[in-house]
Structure 1
């Protein structure tokens, strides 16, 4: 790959995830402190990610893959996103804010697949080359959190109460406009699907891979993937608000430890996978969710702050050892016939259906445990996803039969 192309793809990935991490992490805190949203309303705002994930396959499969260059659609969607981000920056009540965040997520979620398409189109060996490009996305997410906490201090106690978190939307809007324009300079990625070939909606959404559910093992994994997204939603929706409310300094910057751990555990995953097998890898990931939320429930900002830091650092183990391992397993089970559609089905089930349920449940539990204005019973809130993740782990351990996966399928 030419150095210029490598630079373009790396910058594209950096901006793509800088944009996501630059507002999504602090969204719950912003809504609670600045728009005085209830737990249910915060859940509704976060669930737009799920609606975006559900709608994204239509945009990618029915439009991007058939009619237009991927880099051009990427540019248009980010320019639309820049406008919506500016309007979110100017919003003063939840009623006006919600349709904007919904529109934004419908525009943004398809770009996650588009940046991959643009990258893969320039690679001779994606298995070896992609990770060196994708890592800049993780760096972008980390930089966004550090900028918010340690350069602008928008999430500091006085600043967030004064409404300074709204500037995250302005920052992201500028980055989105830049990426939108920059996308038109990216290497051309023309559609590869024959327009004359009819593609059904079920194929576009990956629903033709439903035949894999006839096998008990894959069905157990599929249901576990949906269920584990319920405790996952608690982290996305409540972690930053939790840290802010209990008085942790620079909570957004501190949470970037989780993204750094993703890189570490991504490197450890192949070795763990080969040594202990798929079943124990998945169980380790589920157990990490249970432990993390117990640490959140009983940690504090005093002598036990180390418990909160460990809980954040477990993010890599929680995510990589379940979701990345699950993608490898899905690829192995699907074979060539359903390789793409099976991944689409899992994504639709987890980030779509699973997270949609999870955000609703997280909002419900948060409202039940509301003690007063900007004050929650966080111990009770975190105990629920901890117990739930443990229950899912037990069911998976009982009903999933371990099976060997070829070493060639464990390339990260």
Structure 2
């Protein structure tokens, strides 16, 4: 992306929902049955939204208008499952219970004795020692955050050479799977817009509303999980790092981590990590959501291999509507589509100073959503 042409778009001022923080107390993050742990947001949390914005045309529930502050935790918690119980819940780590695989290890679906479904991420035995710091990082960060658009930690196991992270189970697969149509249907435009807003909410919480600023470092479509109601949750905090809440501060990393195609070019060049690195990754992800293409399409012609560069070229040549994912069967309004593309290019600007912060991104997406719903009512 270093060679990608840069352009700073003027940001239009937007009417945004109230991003008001709210602090909640909670018990230690241990694997215990909580009657409301996976319950939907309360009517109070949704009140600022439902009173102002009508339901989506496809009855997708609107994103929340508030962020809640992280709970105070004196310690991460203690283990409430034995390895024997874990083995029983995963049918001895049966391939039939496998949900996916990543750098850390394999993720399994598991059913507890009380019937609750959870996800259990098991570190690869071969890399158990090498992944210890990644394991500790993920559980320490997950234990300190709670937001409806972030996957929730329920417990963990760290015993011998076994390292397991136990989180809520999100049943509808990854965003990338849905873009590929693996689940039998493709996402329509309304769903893609709602999912984009959900991701922006989750990242805004991490950057601005958590007890400490958190930089995810691996925002990508395979790390976005979808619920049965097509709500998005950001997952996989193995690469996440605590940032600095003081504006303008950077962290110099000894090793760049992330996924090719989503990596901030300025972070790769300088090793300096800021929340704007997540913003860049989100910009790439937003283009992926709109076009259906992966960030790097190795089998395509040279001018189309890097999706951001290809998309920007099409947009600049006045051919923006040729970028619409052909799997979206409905007609997409050109004004709305171009506004989202414009925002994606702002986020994916080669220089971090030219990128908006995630809260501004969320506000712009909400303004786009309001315009989209308005156009729907006028038809």
TM-score of the superposition, structure 2-length normalised?
A: 0.30
Larger helix proportion, structure 1 or 2?
A: 1
Larger strand proportion, structure 1 or 2?
A: 2
- With CA pairs under 8 Å and 6+ residues apart, which has the higher RCO, 1 or 2? 1
TM-score of the superposition, structure 1-length normalised?
A: 0.29
